[in-house]
Amino acid sequence: MTPELGQLALILALLLALAQGVLPLIGAWRGNHALMAVARPAAAGQAVFVAFAFGILVWAFLHFDFSVQYVADNSNLELPWYYRIAAVWGAHEGSLLLWIFILNVWTVALAAFSYKLPEVFASRVLAVMGLIAVGFLAFIVFTSDPFGRLLPMPGDGADLNPVLQDPGMAFHPPVLYTGYVGFSVAFAFAIAGLLGGELEQAWVRWARPWTNVAWAFLTLGIVAGSWWAYAELGWGGWWFWDPVENASFMPWLVGAALIHAQAVTEKRGSLRAWTILLSIFAFSLSLLGTFLVRSGVLTSVHAFASDPRRGVFILIFLTIVVGGSLLLYALRAPKVAGGKAFQLLSRETVLLIGNLMFAVAAAMVLLGTLFPLIGDALNLGRISVGPPYFGFLFPLLMLPVVLLMPFGPFLRWGKGESPLLKQILLRVGVAAAACAIVAAFFVDGKLKAIVGVAALVWLGVGVLLYAYKRWRDVPRGRRYPGEMAGMLLAHLGVGVFVAGVLLTESLSVTRDVRMAPGETQHISGYDFRFDGVHRTTGPNWKADQGVITVTRDDKQIAVMHPQKRTYPRGQVQTESAVDAGVFRDLYVALGEPMDAGNIEGAWALRLYYKPFVRWIWGGGLLMMLGGFVCAADKRFRLKRTADATASLDLQPQETRA
């Protein structure tokens, strides 16, 4: 009976979402306060029902209710309770429910923090959020019911894919979805702005903290996914340009462009149309990711079971949402270039170049991802592009961004001064060149590694110089407001990230070896001694576990335990062992026994020495931190006074619209 209650709750949530999506829009149009007032209670009610449905699904997993098809497909009696909870979003239906639940959390947060916004505007924003929820709730109710029954009820279920039985599963999808879905807020603001015709800069200021938070979550989600793939899959790589990775990366790129464009629009009033367009694109690409993963149009390691009916549904939804908003943009976007004029040498120009680079990079990734589809359409046969395409074009497009980044903060809005720029160029250039020359001696003249060090110094010194300038020029207390500190942290993060990528890629050592117990391999100063393999068991797996003792100059550094696990349904999963460090990771993956059946003999092993690989994620985390710190800037907190003036600003437009 209980699972049916979950289904019922989703249907009720759908009806409430319809009310939230339609009534406040009519209210805002007719000036009807009662209808506008529907938005908040409807959003809250919808969130309660969705949370209820989510809770029921969790409960069904915890109580082994295999009469629910989804539970039977994704868990079994031996699966530990924590992975049974994570299994809730282990496949299509449940992860869609998680998507909707997170959308509701964002909507409720928006409802709670939008009391100081003008009533008409807040109603429109919440209505757009409601309409998005309608699409997704209809999708789950009509095509992807997580509560469908399986009769007769099996005695035991199948299994959660062993790859997903990892702590990363508890963390990566919810955080990533929080980022994805968070772009719906910037989208809703932009659409409400277009609908109302209020082309004030005000809505951009309100949207900024939300966009920054969403982008920061997306950054964290991608970092977590990258780290998980590295630790779990045993390939020792951290990014694979897989279609679904790309699906999360495209909104990230556009989001990065958007947070900068919003800054320009808010402060100077320029790039208005561009900011609106980016707001639409960021969320559209999130939806597109959902489409690509769930329609079966592309094949990928992440792809869910495909079903053409679902594909058609999302495509129609995508067409309505994105097509509708782009049409609205075409009709109502600001016609005249507004805002304060700027010269060629100005902060606006630098930000605009960065923006274009990010947008082009996102388009490049989109093209590469859709290549197999284009190949089918043009009858070119089975083709796809991989790391060589992305690995060549992406750094090329990001080069100008990295080169210009130290100068952005120093340039003034509107009109910059070239003597100051020359001074900065000289300082960061000399520092980067000096460090590159020193570094060359340490990395055997490997060009990539030298470039990595130079990039870190170029960006790091840029950040430090600017931080020092603020320290010198600005009185205490006003030196580093959140926006400024966030920007500095994120830019430093880019430097750390670039250095991590280039140093890891050029200095990593990988060795595939056959090792008999007692044998030692020497890699980059470390001695890996293989001490044999023994059997071990976990909550729901049996494993062959290797023991590798790592020493350096006869001092023990680590004892590592890579495993080869066998799960109840016979699936085999390798669990690599990682000894993490700030400057290097040691990484061991267990292959096959050389003599099948004799696990005490020699094994094939893969040993890695990965210098600076943590810097990749460290850089990502700094960027995330930058996003959060920026969003926390006091300036974005709505004050009564600011609100009053904003409302006054909006009033004339409202009556006109």
Partner 1 sequence: MNRLLPFIGFMLLVGLFGFGIWWNTRHDPNAIPTPLLNKPAPAFNLPKLYEPTQTVSKADLLGQPYLLNVFASWCIECGVEHPVLTAAAPSLGVKLVGYNYKDAPADAKAWLAAHGSPYALLIADESGQTAIDFGVYGAPESFLVDAKGVIRFKHIGPITPDVLATKVKPAIAAMLKETP
**Contacting residues toward partner 1, per CB under 8 A:** 273, 277, 280-281, 284, 291, 295-299, 306, 308, 311-312, 315, 318-319, 322-323, 326-327, 329-331, 333, 370, 373-374, 376-377, 381-382
Q: Select 44 or 333, whichever has its Cβ closest to partner 1.
A: 333
Q: How far is the CB of 188 from partner 1 (least distance, A)?
A: 18
Q: How far is the CB of 315 from partner 1 (least distance, A)?
A: 5
- Among residues 612, 407, 409, 582, which one has the least CA distance to residue 498? 612
Cα→Cα distances 211→29, 41, 135, 179, 559, Å: 26, 24, 22, 9, 44
* Helices 2-30 and 39-62, axial angle in degrees (round to 10): 160
- Residue 387: cis peptide before it, omega within 30 degrees of 0: no
Q: How far is the CB of 190 from partner 1 (least distance, A)?
A: 13
Q: How far is the CB of 296 from partner 1 (least distance, A)?
A: 6
Spatial contact of 189 and 208, defined as CB atoms under 8 Å apart: no
Spatial contact of 339 and 269, defined as CB atoms under 8 Å apart: yes
Residue 604 burial (10 A CB sphere; 0-12, 13-18, 19+): middle
| Helical residues (DSSP H) of 67-118, grouped into ranges | 69-74, 81-86, 92-113
Q: Select 51 or 326, whichever has its Cβ closest to partner 1.
A: 326
Q: How far is the CB of 517 from partner 1 (least distance, A)?
A: 32
3 state SS of 164:
helix
DSSP 489: H
Q: Select 51 or 363, whichever has its Cβ closest to partner 1.
A: 363
Q: How far is the C-alpha of 492 from the C-alpha of 252, rounded, in Å?
A: 18
Q: Select 122 or 370, whichever has its Cβ closest to partner 1.
A: 370
3 state SS of 521:
strand
3 state SS of 93:
helix
Cα→Cα distances 434→17, 81, 315, 440, 541, Å: 60, 55, 54, 10, 53
Spatial contact of 506 and 442, defined as CB atoms under 8 Å apart: no
Q: How far is the CB of 187 from partner 1 (least distance, A)?
A: 14
Q: Select 151 or 331, whichever has its Cβ closest to partner 1.
A: 331
Q: Select 299 or 510, whichever has its Cβ closest to partner 1.
A: 299
- DSSP string for residues in 379-399: T--S----HHHHHHHHHHHHH
Q: Select 97 or 277, whichever has its Cβ closest to partner 1.
A: 277
Q: Please name the residues in contact with 3: beta carbons below 8 A apart, sequence gap of 6 or more.
A: 56, 60, 65, 67, 68, 147, 149
Handedness of CA 162, 163, 168, 170 (dihedral sign): negative
Q: Select 249 or 317, whichever has its Cβ closest to partner 1.
A: 317
Tokens describing residue 521: 């391999």
Count of CB atoms within 10 A of residue 641's CB?
A: 8
Q: Select 114 or 275, whichever has its Cβ closest to partner 1.
A: 275
Q: How far is the CB of 350 from partner 1 (least distance, A)?
A: 24
Q: How far is the CB of 376 from partner 1 (least distance, A)?
A: 5
Q: How far is the CB of 326 from partner 1 (least distance, A)?
A: 4
Q: How far is the CB of 331 from partner 1 (least distance, A)?
A: 8
Q: Select 385 or 421, whichever has its Cβ closest to partner 1.
A: 385
Q: How far is the CB of 29 from partner 1 (least distance, A)?
A: 23
Q: Select 371 or 617, whichever has its Cβ closest to partner 1.
A: 371
Spatial contact of 298 and 292, defined as CB atoms under 8 Å apart: yes
Q: How far is the CB of 371 from partner 1 (least distance, A)?
A: 11
DSSP 601: S
Question: What are residue 527's DSSP bridge partners?
Answer: 522, 551
Tokens describing residue 215: 């982008």
Q: Select 11 or 326, whichever has its Cβ closest to partner 1.
A: 326
